[in-house]
A and B are shown apart, each in its own frame.
Chain A
Amino acid sequence: MKEWVGTVARLLTGGVWIWAGLAKLPHPEDSVLAVRAYQLLPGDSASTVGHLLPVVEVVVGLCLVLGLLTRFAAAVSVLLFAAFIIGIASGWARGIEIDCGCFGGGGADPHAASKYPWELARDVGLLLLSTYLVWQGRTRIALDNLLFPPLTESGLDLEALDDQHSGV
């Protein structure tokens, strides 16, 4: 049961990442502006983050959807959502009105304040799903199950072997 819950969590979180990343990939310049609009990163590092983020999002999303290195991808996902929550909350607290740039776009948005609560709620929800996946790393229908089959099935579990031998 837990493994199926994990599969659903993987598909949801991973799907959102892929969607968010793909929306940003075609417009690197907008991505940089969206990061810059938060006014949090020093110097020109906003430009590096703006270029890196969409790619990382797509890759993390793919890993989650495919169930490849699930725990690791989920841990990265947790860190990213934590960073976004901090970014949006601090923007809100500083009275900056910006489009979160979550799915492309970004920059100044005079109606942003009314969207912040929903954006934060969404990110907290996805953060919780990701955290669940860090804890419940093994899920159904995952590449991990092919690459790293459970030990008992590969006949490497000591007790299982002992049972076989004692039957001879």
Chain B
Amino acid sequence: MSTKLSNKEKQRRRAERAAAALKERQRRERRRRLLSVVGVVVAIVLVVAGGFLISSMRDDTKVDAAKIPPPGGSYGLTIGPDSAPHKVVVYEDFLCPICGEFEKTGHEQLEQLADQGKVQVEYRPIVILDRFGTYSARATLMWWLVKQHDGDAVAQKFHDLLYANQPSEEGPFPSRDDLYALAGQAGADAAALKASVEASEGAQEVAEGTKDAEALGVSSTPTLVLDGEAFTNGRTPADLANNLVKAVQ
């Protein structure tokens, strides 16, 4: 019979069908793998994005800069006139090495700009490095007492001297007498300062200064606020100081 296929032809068709079925299975498998990879990657991206958002929201150290009072408060030391176009608030700790770097680079220029009326700066020393002993609290207290009794100009000098003579976080720390002498060098009445310290004057005010800052979300130093916005633009403390000076020039 002529319609009967030869064995060879049958074999060829069978092989063709098998090859087609195989190709189809391969295609499906490739598709399944691709979808699996895409699915897993999408899941990973979602988890990372979600974790990132949660982490950002839980970070309560984001300073609510808008709530931070502008310069001119009663606790800190304000330099520069009220009419200055830029307002800067500096929260710092006398022991914090980054604050030391920041001061070393920036304080002269900031004080100059304040003198020229271009910026008003309030320095708000706070005590956050008390885990290294009493130096931070002691220096802050003495600085505040000097400000109360000897005036802003002397307090500014004492502030600069404290940073110029900043000890390491590891110590050795200057003694009380060393600090009285340093205050004297800034122009303060060292004997009166000693009497005030021994009478535990000012401890409450300084503690409140720190508490107020912490209530506003200030948990690390230096925390800088420029015209109502947190200022963090700088890779190093020196960059931070230079950029801040540039921003208010």
A interface list, Cβ under 8 A from B: 25, 28-29, 31-33, 39-44, 47, 51-52, 54-56, 58-59, 63, 68-69, 72, 108, 110, 147-148, 154-156, 158, 161, 165
Apart from the given pairs A43-B234, A161-B18, 14 other A-B contacts in the complex at a CB distance below 8 Å = A25-B55, A29-B61, A29-B219, A33-B220, A39-B235, A39-B236, A41-B235, A51-B59, A55-B48, A59-B44, A59-B47, A59-B51, A156-B29, A161-B22
Complex contact B235–A29 (CB within 8 A): no
> Which residues from chain A contact B25 at a C-beta distance below 8 Å?
155-156
Instruction: Report the nearest B residue to A41, measured CB to CB.
Output: B235
State how many angstroms separate the Cβ of B50 from the closest Cβ of chain A. Answer: 8
Q: Is the CB of A108 within 8 A of B48?
A: no
Given the known inter-chain contacts A69-B37, A110-B168, A161-B22, please indicate yes or no for A29 contacting B59, CB distance below 8 A.
Answer: yes
Expressed in whole angstroms, the Cα–Cα distance for A55 and B29 within the complex equals 32
Establish whether residues A147 and B36, one from each chain, have CB atoms under 8 Å apart when the complex forms: yes
Q: Using a Cβ–Cβ cut-off of 8 Å, how many residues does chain B contribute to the interface with A?
A: 34
A-B contact pairs, 20 of them (CB 8 A): A25-B55, A28-B55, A28-B59, A29-B59, A29-B220, A31-B55, A32-B59, A39-B235, A40-B235, A43-B235, A51-B55, A54-B55, A59-B44, A63-B44, A69-B41, A110-B168, A110-B169, A147-B36, A148-B36, A156-B29
Chain A, Cβ-Cβ closest to B232: A44
Q: How far is the CA of A43 from the CA of B61 in the complex (A)?
A: 17
Q: Specify the main secondary structure of chain A where it touches its partner.
A: helix
A43 touches B51 (CB 8 A): no
CB nearest to B98 among chain A residues: A108
CA distance A52 to B49 in the complex (A): 8
CB-based contact A68/B40 at 8 Å: yes
Interface residues of B in 42-95 (CB under 8 A from A): 44, 47-48, 51-52, 55-56, 58-61
A28-B56, A161-B22 are known contacts. Are A43 and B232 too (CB-CB below 8 A)? yes
- Determine if B185 is an interface residue (Cβ-Cβ < 8 Å): no
> What are the residues of chain B within 8 A of A42 when measuring CB–CB?
235
Interface residues of B (CB under 8 A from A): 15, 18, 22, 25-26, 29, 33, 36-37, 40-41, 44, 47-48, 51-52, 55-56, 58-61, 97-98, 168-170, 219-220, 232-236
Q: Please state if A44 and B233 are interface contacts (CB–CB under 8 Å).
A: yes
Main DSSP-derived SS at the B contact region: helix
B170–A110 CB distance below 8 A: yes
Cα A84 to Cα B135 with chains together (Å)? 34
A103 to chain B: closest CB distance in Å?
A: 17
Bound complex: CA A148 to CA B34 (Å): 10
Q: Do A55 and B58 touch across chains, with their CB atoms under 8 A apart?
A: no
**Among A29, A32, A43, A154, contact of B29 (Cβ-Cβ < 8 Å):** A154
Docked-complex contact A158 and B22, CB < 8 angstroms: yes
| Cross-chain contact of B51 among A55, A148, A155, A161 (Cβ < 8 A) | A55
Contact A51–B233 (Cβ < 8 Å): no
Contact with B56, one of A43, A51, A69 (Cβ below 8 angstroms): A51
Give CA–CA (A58, B52) in the complex, Å: 12
Is A52 a contact partner of B18 (Cβ separation < 8 A)?
A: no
Residues of A within 8 A of B219 (CB): 29
Q: By the criterion CB–CB under 8 Å, are A51 and B235 in contact?
A: no
Kindly list chain A residues whose C-beta atoms are within 8 Å of the C-beta of B61: 29, 32
Q: How far is the CB of B185 from chain A (nearest CB, A)?
A: 28
Partner of A55, one of B18, B22, B52, B234: B52
| Contact status A29-B60, CB under 8 Å | yes
